Amino acid sequence: MQQMNAQRPDRIKRDPAPSRAAYRIHRLWLTPLFRALLRVGLPSFTVIMLIGLYVSDAENRERMNNIAREFRAAIETRDEFMVKLMAIDGATVPVAADIREVLSQDFPVSSFDLDLEAMKAQVETLDAVKSAQLRIQSGGVLQILVMERIPAIVWRNNQGTVLLDAAGVLVGPVETRMDRADLPLVAGEGAQDHIPEALDLLQAAAPIMDRVKGLVRIGERRWDIVLDRNQRILLPADDPILAMARIITLDDAQDMLARDLSVVDMRLGYRPTIRLQHDAADGLRRIRVSEIGVTQE
């Protein structure tokens, strides 16, 4: 039998009693651990698993790498990042040519591909370069600021003649000593390690500078000052500056170096010794003999 009127206004709605399963699921859902697991654990597990599945395929990995590489290249080759030319400041022309040769960099190149640290190290391997600063300036210019080594002395050794700076570091070769007549000359093994001392000695010898021909390192231990007229000053290993000052004083007082000496030996500080020239010694003997009245035939 059907109801006469289907829509009864005061019909009492039945309680929406949950089924046993719905009730249990609701209770399970209200369990904090389960809830955390479902809300955080399951999505993260799914995402990680999907990513893992995708990545585990070598082809996919390759494709992703390609995409990343292309993307990177697209950014790197943008005009803003390209370096088009190199400017070298503070270097003489041959040194600048050397730097260009050492770097051997083709332009244009992306600034991401330039390893400035390595390039700086490379530039500083050149003897003539004391230090270098590299920076990429706007407009795509690689600016290299070079501090060159200033040659302070000429060193003549077994191989030839080279230039050294004030610290004794090699600056470069030189053809002949006369090419750099303005610089003092040192010679001898081990001289390059004591260039500051040599420069100090030369400064102390400033009053007789016009007569100094050069310094010789003897036995990798001490200095000799070579003067013109075959004269030679032998300096001690310890405190040669003081010894030099004494010689300058003697020279001032007694015109010592102007006399016919061949060697002034200052190696023993308490007993400076001079040696006469061979002719001078002969002449002296002759004078002595004539004084005592002996005629030599």
Partner 1 sequence: MTDLYGMQRAMRNMRKAAMQRGVIAILDIGTSKIACLILRFDGPERFREQEGIGSMAGQSSFRVIGAATTRSRGVKFGEIATMGETERAIRTAVQAAQKMANQRVDHVIACLSGARPRSYGLDGVVELHENTVTEHDIARVLAACDVPDYGDGREILHAQPVNFALDHRTGLADPRGQMGNQLATDMHMVTVDANVIQDLLYCLKRCDLELAGLASSAYVAGVSSLVEDEQELGSACIDMGGGATGVSIFIKKHMIYTDSVRLGGDSVTSDISMGLQVPMAVAERIKTFYGGVVATGMDDREMIDIGGDTGDWEHDRRRVSRAELIGIMRPRVEEILEEVRSRLDAAGFDHLPSQQIVLTGGASQIPGLDGLASKILGQQVRLGRPLRVQGLPQAATGPAFAGSVGLSLFAAHPQDEWWDFDIPMDKYSGRSLKRALKWFKDNW
Q: Minimum distance from CB of 24 to partner 1 (Å)?
A: 7
Stretch that binds partner 1, among 3-11, 81-89, 172-180, 232-240 (CB under 8 A): 3-11
Rg, the chain, Cα only: 45
| Cβ-based nearer residue to partner 1, 33 or 178 | 33
Contacts of 88 (CB under 8 A, 6+ apart): 96, 99, 100, 144, 146
Q: Does 271 bind partner 1 (CB under 8 A)?
A: no
Q: Does 295 bind partner 1 (CB under 8 A)?
A: no
Q: Minimum distance from CB of 76 to partner 1 (Å)?
A: 54
* Cα–Cα distance list, 129 to 102, 154, 215 (Å): 12, 17, 26
Q: Minimum distance from CB of 36 to partner 1 (Å)?
A: 13
Q: Minimum distance from CB of 40 to partner 1 (Å)?
A: 18
| Cβ-based nearer residue to partner 1, 22 or 258 | 22
Closest CA to 198 of 167, 229, 157: 167
**Which residue matches tokens 């009245």?**
293
Q: Minimum distance from CB of 27 to partner 1 (Å)?
A: 5
| Residues 99, 70: Cα–Cα separation, whole Å | 33
Angle, helix 240-254 to helix 195-204, in steps of 10 degrees: 20
Stretch that binds partner 1, among 2-10, 42-50, 235-243, 248-256 (CB under 8 A): 2-10
Going by their DSSP bridges, the two strands 109-110 and 82-83 should be labelled as antiparallel
| Cβ-based nearer residue to partner 1, 10 or 117 | 10
Task: Report residue 122 as tokens.
Answer: 């490379």
List 1, 2, 5, 270, residue binding partner 1 (CB under 8 A): 5
- The size of the interface with partner 1 (CB under 8 A), counted in residues, is 18
Neighbours of 52 (CB within 10 A): 9
Q: Minimum distance from CB of 41 to partner 1 (Å)?
A: 18
Q: Minimum distance from CB of 30 to partner 1 (Å)?
A: 4
| Cβ-based nearer residue to partner 1, 17 or 181 | 17
Angle, helix 93-103 to helix 116-124, in steps of 10 degrees: 130
Query: Could you say which residues in the range 7-66 bind partner 1, by CB under 8 A?
Result: 8, 10, 12, 15-18, 20, 22-24, 26-27, 30-31
User: 179 with 151: CB under 8 angstroms?
Assistant: no
Handedness of CA 165, 181, 235, 257 (dihedral sign): negative
Q: Does 3 bind partner 1 (CB under 8 A)?
A: yes
| Residues 205, 207: Cα–Cα separation, whole Å | 6
Footprint on this chain of partner 1 (rule: CB under 8 A): 3-5, 8, 10, 12, 15-18, 20, 22-24, 26-27, 30-31
